[in-house]
Amino acid sequence: MSYTTTIADALIETLSRISGLPAFQLAGHVPNLDFWMAEVRHVVGVIDGYQERFANMSVAQAAFGADHVNQKEQRERHEHDYQPLTPAISPAAADRLKRRCVQAANRLIDRCLKEELIYIVKADDLRSAIRSSNE
């Protein structure tokens, strides 16, 4: 599993767990909603930047191979089996993961509103923050 998938899944699981807490426990997480929305923005940024990071890695690996003609021999002697570079996550899977992350955040905001732990203005601010990262 890739870093991108791992951190997104962990955040989705955490936000989902928090969303399902009894109201008295959910209330304890309200002061940290800005932190959790920042985490959503971070994960969305990681997902959005994956293709560029993969392309950079591919170029660097190819350049190294071109500069080191004995690379094939080194690969054969290395303790790890050589595997051609392949993306860890497809663009379609990345979009689904990003959507799930934003949905989990919105469920948490909705639950806080339902329990009257935040006002609509705060909910709008939180949604605006994650929406701008999702565009």
- Residue 37 covered by a domain: yes
Domain limits at 18?
A: 3-67+89-133
- Residues 6 or more apart from 66 whose CB is under 8 A from it? none
Paired tokens of 63: 């350049």
Q: What was the pLDDT predicted at 75?
A: 63
Query: How many of the other CB atoms lie within 10 Å of CB of 83?
Result: 7
Q: What was the pLDDT predicted at 85?
A: 84
- Residue 74 covered by a domain: no
Q: What was the pLDDT predicted at 68?
A: 67
* Sequence-separated contacts (24+) of 4-10 with Cβ below 8 Å: 4/46, 4/47, 4/50, 4/88, 4/89, 4/94, 4/97, 5/88, 5/89, 5/97, 7/43, 7/46, 8/43, 8/46, 8/47, 8/97, 8/98, 8/100, 8/101, 9/97
- Residue 29 covered by a domain: yes
Residue range 34-88, pLDDT digits in tens:
999 999 999 999 999 999 999 999 898 888 766 666 666 666 666 666 677 889 9
Q: Which of 8-12, 49-53, 109-113 has the lowest mean pLDDT?
A: 49-53
In the chain, the number of structural domains is: 1
Q: What was the pLDDT predicted at 132?
A: 61
Paired tokens of 69: 């003609």
- Residue 21 covered by a domain: yes
- Residue 75 covered by a domain: no
116 neighbors 26 (Cβ within 8 angstroms): no
- Residue 79 covered by a domain: no
Examine the pLDDT at 23 and tell me if it is beyond 60: yes
> For the residues 111-119, what does the mean pLDDT come to?
98
113 neighbors 24 (Cβ within 8 angstroms): no
Q: What was the pLDDT predicted at 98?
A: 96
> What's the predicted TM-score (pTM) here?
0.84
> For the residues 107-129, what does the mean pLDDT come to?
97
- Residue 76 covered by a domain: no
Q: What is the mean pLDDT of the chain?
A: 90
Q: What was the pLDDT predicted at 54?
A: 92
Q: What was the pLDDT predicted at 131?
A: 81
